[in-house]
């Protein structure tokens, strides 16, 4: 059983915690300020990364992604080129085979890279 003094102390603490609306508002404003400050810091970091990567880097990505994006671009170009040479009136199989070899090499690079990661 609690002593009467402990009950008085608990009651006084509960009254203070419930009645201090200004303190609650101050804490709430403090949290809002911290969130706004974090938003500003995040936006600043994003702007720095955009400036670091440049216009082309925004599409390709950072330095670690350049090789993979280059391989993907080669694969897309090979697919387009393969169909371009085969849909002509006079298909040129030698060029289509060369383009297919480039695309398959890029595809092999991507699969090999994913296995090593």
What pLDDT is recorded for position 101? 84
> How far is it, in rounded angstroms, from Cα 35 to Cα 43?
12
pLDDT at 28 over 80: yes
Query: What's the pLDDT at 39?
Result: 96
And the tokens for 29?
A: 């404003």
Give pLDDT tens digits for 29-54. 999 999 999 999 999 998 888 787 77
Higher pLDDT, 116 or 30: 30
Residue (of 111, 81, 84, 73) closest to 98 by Cα position:
81
pLDDT tens-digit readout, 52-109: 777 777 777 767 777 788 888 888 888 888 787 777 766 666 777 788 888 888 888 8
Count of Cβ atoms closer than 10 Å to residue 13 Cβ = 10
Would you say residue 116 has pLDDT above 80?
A: no
Two tokens at 50?
């955009």
| Gap between the Cα atoms of 12 and 7, Å rounded | 9
């Amino acid at each position: 059983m609690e002593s009467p003094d402990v009950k008085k102390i608990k009651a006084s603490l509960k009254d203070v915690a419930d009645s201090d609306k200004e303190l609650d508002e101050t804490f709430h404003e403090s949290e809002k300020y911290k969130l706004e400050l974090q938003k500003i810091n995040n936006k600043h970091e994003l702007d720095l990364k955009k400036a670091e990567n440049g216009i082309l880097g925004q599409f390709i990505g950072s330095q670690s992604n350049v090789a993979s994006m280059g391989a993907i671009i080669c694969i897309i170009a090979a697919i387009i080129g393969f169909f371009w040479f085969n849909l002509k009136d006079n298909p040129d199989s030698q060029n289509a085979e060369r383009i297919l070899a480039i695309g398959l090499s890029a595809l092999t690079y991507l699969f090999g890279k994913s296995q090593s990661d």
